[in-house]
Structure formats: C-alpha cells, structure tokens
Structure 1
Amino acid sequence: MKTALWLYLFLFLAFFDLHAQYPILTPFAVSLGAAPVFIGWMMGIYALTHIPGNLIAGTVIDRHGSRRYIIFSLVSAGVILLLQAHVEFPWQLIVLRSLSGFVLAFLSPACLALLASLSQDLVKQGKYMSGHGVIHTLASVISPAAGAFIVANVGFATTFQSLGWLLIGTGIMAIFCVPAPKHLSNSSQHVSQANVNSTTPIPAVIPWRYFVLPFVISCAQGILFFELPLRDTGISGMMSTGILFSVLSIGALFTLCLLFLNRYSPFKRVVAGVLLMALCFFCLAAVHRIPLMVTLFILGSAKGLIFPAMASLFIKLSGGFRLGRVFSLQSIAMSLGSFIGPVAAGQIRGNISPYFIGFLLLMLGLMLLPVYRKSSSIPYPSVLHSNPDLI
C-alpha cells in the first residue's frame, strides 16, 4: 500500500503538469503564427510519437519492471518542457511535442503495470485502477485553470519552465521512493513462470474489437481538446477554457467517488459510459440549448465511469498475464485516436462539426463490441483463446 501511495503522489504531480498545458498550447501556437491545420498536427504528432514508445514499453516493462521507465519518462519530459520555454518558431514546437510524446509513452503503461502487480486479486487490482483514475482526475480538476492563470500572470516561457522543473523534481523523487523491480515483481514473475510455456500472444487472447474502444474514446477526446481552446484564443479565452476543462474533470471526479459502481460488471460500465459520452458529443454538435458546462460535466462523468472500468476489463481479459504489453496495446490504441482526432478536426471543421464525427466514432465503437452474455463471467486466457468472442 505504501508503494501505491507514493506512486499516486508521483502520478498526481505528473498529471497536474501535463493537464496544465491543455488550455495554453493552442494559444501559444497561435502566438507563434501557427494556423489551425498546423495546430491540429501539433496536437496529433504528440500522440503519433506515442506509438513507437508504446511498442518499446510493452516489452521492456515486462522484462525490467516499471521503475526505471517511470523515472526516465518524467525527467526527459521535464527537460523537453524547459526547452519548450525558448521556442520561437512553430516547427520547433512540433519537434519538441513529438519528442515529448515519445518519452511520455512509457509513463502510463509503466504506472498501470506497476499498480496491477501490487496484487494478484482482481478486486484489489480494480481498486488500484480506480485510485489511478481518482488521482488523474483530481490533478486535472485544478491544473487547466491553474495553467491558464499562471500564463496570464507570468507568460508562456516562465510557465513552461515551472512545469518542466516540476516534472524533473518528480522524477528525482521517484528514484528514492519507488522500490526496485525485484520487490514489486514477485507476483508478476510467479504468473510469468506459470505461463512460461504459453505461446499465445496478447492480441490472440484479447479480441481486437476491445481495443477499438480506447481508440474511439481518445479520438473523441482529441477532437474535444482541439475544439474547446479555439473558441477564444485570447487571455480571457484561456481562462474560460481552463475552467471548462476543470468542469470536465469535476464530472469525472463525481463518478469516481461513487464507489458502489465498482460492484457492477466492468463491461457494463464501459458500455454505459461510452453511450453517455456519445450522447454528449451529439449535444455539442446539434443541441445548443443545453449549457456547455452541463454537457461537459456529464461528459466528464462518462469518462470517470469508463477509464477505471476499461482498465479492470483488460486485466480480467488478460488474466494477469503480460500486463505491460496489455496496457501498451491500450496506449497504442489511444495514441492513434489522439493523433487522428485533432488532425481530422483541423481538416473538416469548416464543413462539418467535429463533435458529430466524435459521436459517430463512439457509436461505431459500441457496435463493434462483442455481444455480452449475462450468464457468463469474464474468462481467463485459456478460455478466451478457444472462444475469443465469449464476452
């Protein structure tokens, strides 16, 4: 439990640092003379360079443990932010964002695998995933508004420098506070030894249709993160955008605090959350009578329902095997969606509402899910291999 608390602290600081950039990156790019299409590519390239990092992370985390990659990711991202404070041209920003996307690709799979390895009990693992969601949401509640407030008072350069030093300091703390892999991986090594003769790769264990979910969810999120800051790129616009992002996170925190939801099937929670999220995107596109803050609060509630349930679902589907690769595949799907979402929004926003595209993608993801059978529980890999559509 002590390890989990330290990890939650590092995650809070890291997520605070990262989410504080959401309302200020687009105005910063505009101040450098970037066009909307370039801004879409700037946001998308961050997610695109996640993919090679995720591919590497899946193998090395299972082999060496999470500790060194958490430290590497935090410190490297902090150094890149320090360099970002001195950017003068748009192409420099896109280069640094691509490097940041690569180094931060190790953070999420490493943290999720580390949390899951703290226990072999699926219920406790689910609680750890919920804790991860709570920490993520707590950080994202205050960080967008805080980031916009700091920029309004001290400017872009000082803000990026402050965030960079915060990430570097967090990485240095992790060196002394995160235990060495051998203290954390006994349970995962035991699982690996039990499965040492298994030649079934993770993609054959978990049907590919499940990985469509993180793809469409992150694609829709990318569209939202692209569209909201473009409502107003001035200082007042940054402040209002920061508040809107905070409202989104408050909605997620509300759902995460409803602990009784963990009693329900992860599959059902994921389906309900994606459906609610799709309806919110439809409202953003076509139903303008609903106040924006109300829609964003409900959208955040859907996110708070989805992400812990999706992590628990993947843990159950994998049976606890090769968690580094499982979460890396999930991160790859999310990276692809985060790349395609803002890039597509930048291309089509003059002809059709990007929010409507987000609605269509979320509904498509729901339709591609396997049929859920109430009488069957989520099986372990040997069962899934013989019948991958059991759920």
Structure 2
Amino acid sequence: MRFFILFIVFISFFDMFSQLPIMSTYAKGLGAGAAFIGIIVGMYSFSNMIGNMLAGYYIDRKRGKTILMIGLGLCGAILFLYPFAVTPVQLLGIRFLHGFISGFIVPAAFTMIANRSESGAQGKSMAITGAAVGIAAIAGPAFGGIAGSGNVQTVFIVNGILMLLTAAAVPFFIPKQGVSGGSSEKKAANHSGRTVSSLMIFSFIGAFSLMFAQGVLAYMLPLQVEMLQFSSSASGTLLSTFGITAICIFLLPTNKLYDKYKPFHLMTLGMSVIGFALLLLSNSTSLLMLYVSMVIYGLGFAWLFPSISALLIQQTAREVRGRAFGYFYAFFSLGSVAGSAITGALTVSFKSGFLIAACLLFGNVLWMSLYNIWKNPPNMV
C-alpha cells in the first residue's frame, strides 16, 4: 500500500512537471498573446491552491481513499480535454479544472502516508516521499520535452492514461481501513493551542519560502545561463543536479538524520543553506560555480522539505491532518506563483532576483528563530 501511495505522489507531480516545457508553446500555438500565455501557465497553480484549501475538509470527513479514486479519475479525464482546445480561453478553462482537481490528490496522499508513519519516524517517511517528488521533477520535464517535440498532445494522452489506470487500481491497493489506519502518535491536543498554532505557521512559512525560492530559480536560472552564454541545455542539467543531490540525501542512510534532530532546527538549517546557495548563484560567473551552487541548493532542499512536513505531522491530530496538509500545499502553490510573479513584475536581473529570494529566506529564519527563543514553547519537536 505504501509503495502505491508513493506512486500516486509521483504520478501527480510527474503530470505537473511534464507540462512545464510545453504549455507556453502550446498556448502560443492556439493564438494566445504573451500576457495571456502567462495567465494560462499560472492558472494551474492558482486553481490548485483553491483545490488544496478545499481538499482537507473532504479528506477528513470522507476519507482519503475516495478522494484519491475520484480525483485521479477526473484528472485523467480532464487531461483528454487538452487536445480538443482550439482557443486560448478554452485552454484556460481546462487548466483551471486540471489544477483544481489535482489540488485534491496530493494532500490526500500525503495525509495517508502521514497517518501510517511510525511514531518517531515521520521525518524519514517524508524524506522517502520527497524522493518520489524529486524523481518526478527530473523525469517529468524530460518526458514533456522529448514527447512534446514530436506531438505535444502525446504528453496529455499518456498522462491521462496513467491517471485513469491508477484511479482504477486504488480499490485494489488501498484497503478500506488503510486510510485511517497507522501507528499511534502523540496527539497535537497535548500541546497548548498557541504552541500548535505557531509551529503549524512555521511549517506553512517554510513551505512558502521553499517554493518562492523555487519560483525564482525556475524564472532566473535560464536567464542567467543565457546571459553567461552557456549552452541552453545547461539550465536543465543544473536543475537536475539539485534534484539528484536531494534524492541521494532522501534515500541514503542520511535520511536517519530527519528523526534524530528536531524538525524545526532542520527546517531553519535548510532555509539558511538554500539562502546561501542563492547568494552563490547571484555571484556565479562560471559553469563550475553554478553546479557547486546547485549541489548546495539540493542539500538545503533535502533538509527543508521533509522537516516542514514532519513538523506539520507532529503538530496535528489525525482528525484534522487532511485540512492541515491542504493548507500546507496551498502555501506551496502560493509561493511558487509569488516567486516568479514578483521577480518578473519587478523586471530585476538574475542577480537581484536571487538576492530577493535569499533575503526572504534569511528574514524568515531570523524572525522564526527569535520567536522560538522568546516563546520557548515546551515539548518542541
């Protein structure tokens, strides 16, 4: 069952990442202008955020198995609508539906994984889940670029088939009792309401900060590579470098560190390391330094992603965990949109864009650390 849920996580992110290399050109081919192309591309994240926020209530009330089966099935059906779009407005509507329905799948999958994680091993569990996301982040764009170069509709059809087949397999691989089953863990009710609230906010801020940096990186790194007159393929290999680094940390025995150290400390460490990597990127003029920066970025990502997820798990009771993960991934979507949109709107250079993202990360680390010291909450985990 656990492997199957990890596969669902992989398929969901693979679907999203595989469309990154093709959506702009697909929209342009339908006659969309530059501004409208940006709206079409961003619509997925916008509606995904809405779906994330609504998903939690249904996950907690109607159980994640049903959400996964319906969500995967509808998402697969929507993917088959893409080839029928003949105008930019139709494509925009399909993107809205696609992002909205997809917003239900990931919170449901992560909630089920969290509820089945052994007490004291949530960090390692989230690290392994992060590896599934990382593999999708590497394989998705590669598939989209290769398949889309021949016939862009192939990407939608293949993803649609995968979604429908996975939806059909849900009843066989996820038993009825599996959704709410799992080992016991300390209830968040043991903590004061104020402490739970502050730590959950820290997790949300960590998610926003991570994806803000990702948004800036996705927007600025290709511009930096182009300005430094390196091969256009360097952008892809640089992004793969950080992904491979993170996956190695997730899957190697180093993943034991996630349950040895407190999630809050690993979270602030990861944010600081990513901030440092962004500072290096802003001053990198050689390909070697770019690769070194991306390896460091991958280390920070590897420490940050599982720790913010583990922090959320340890501070929420099972009965409300679906809602917690729903809002958690809404902050993911918001950060991704804000990172690229803000730096794009300011029309800043890649150096200034990386500095803005680094300042956001360091600023959040500073105020959260000071707040933690000031409050000194008991039972900090």
TM, length-normalised to structure 1: 0.81
**8 A contact 1:24–1:151 mirrored in 2:** yes
Partner residue, 1:246: 240
Partner residue, 2:283: 286
Q: Could you list the runs of 5+ residues in structure 1 that have no partner in the other structure? A: 380-389
Instruction: Give the C-alpha shift of residue 14 in structure 1.
Output: 3.0
**Percentage identity across aligned positions?**
27
Partner residue, 1:102: 100
Partner residue, 2:154: 158
**8 A contact 1:36–1:346 mirrored in 2:** no
Partner residue, 2:146: 149
Instruction: Give the C-alpha shift of residue 336 in structure 1.
Output: 1.7
For 2:113 and 2:378, the matched residues in 1 are separated by: 21
Partner residue, 1:345: 343
For 2:54 and 2:353, the matched residues in 1 are separated by: 32
Q: 1:350 to 1:208 in 2, by over 3 A?
A: closer
For 1:162 and 1:68, the matched residues in 2 are separated by: 23
Q: Could you list the runs of 5+ residues in structure 2 that have no partner in the other structure? A: none
For 2:61 and 2:195, the matched residues in 1 are separated by: 15
For 2:303 and 2:78, the matched residues in 1 are separated by: 33
Alignment map for 1:1-391 (pairs within 5 Å): 3-32=1-30, 34=32, 37-119=35-117, 121-152=118-149, 154-180=150-176, 182-186=177-181, 204=197, 206=199, 208-228=201-221, 241-256=235-250, 257=252, 258-262=254-258, 263-289=260-286, 290-318=288-316, 320=318, 322-349=320-347, 353-371=352-370, 372=372, 379=379
**8 A contact 1:148–1:238 mirrored in 2:** no
SS of the residue 1:92 aligns to: helix
Q: 1:308 to 1:351 in 2, by over 3 A?
A: closer
For 1:213 and 1:248, the matched residues in 2 are separated by: 18
**What is the number of residues matched between the two proteins?**
369
> For residues 286-314 of structure 1, what are the alpha-carbon distances to aligned partners after superposition, in whole Å with 9 as ceiling and x for unaligned?
33335433333332232122111111111
Q: 1:254 corresponds to which letter in structure 2? A: C
**8 A contact 2:43–2:96 mirrored in 1:** yes
Q: 1:99 corresponds to which letter in structure 2? A: L
Instruction: Give the C-alpha shift of residue 202 in structure 1.
Output: 10
**8 A contact 1:78–1:167 mirrored in 2:** yes
* Bigger Cα displacement from structure 2, 353-362 vs 128-137: 353-362
For 2:327 and 2:99, the matched residues in 1 are separated by: 16
SS of the residue 1:123 aligns to: coil
TM, length-normalised to structure 2: 0.83
> For residues 106-159 of structure 1, what are the alpha-carbon distances to aligned partners after superposition, in whole Å with 9 as ceiling and x for unaligned?
12211111011114x43233332122112222232333222212222x221222
**8 A contact 1:266–1:312 mirrored in 2:** yes
Q: CA RMSD in A?
A: 3.4
For 1:103 and 1:201, the matched residues in 2 are separated by: 33
For 1:273 and 1:165, the matched residues in 2 are separated by: 37
For 1:199 and 1:366, the matched residues in 2 are separated by: 23
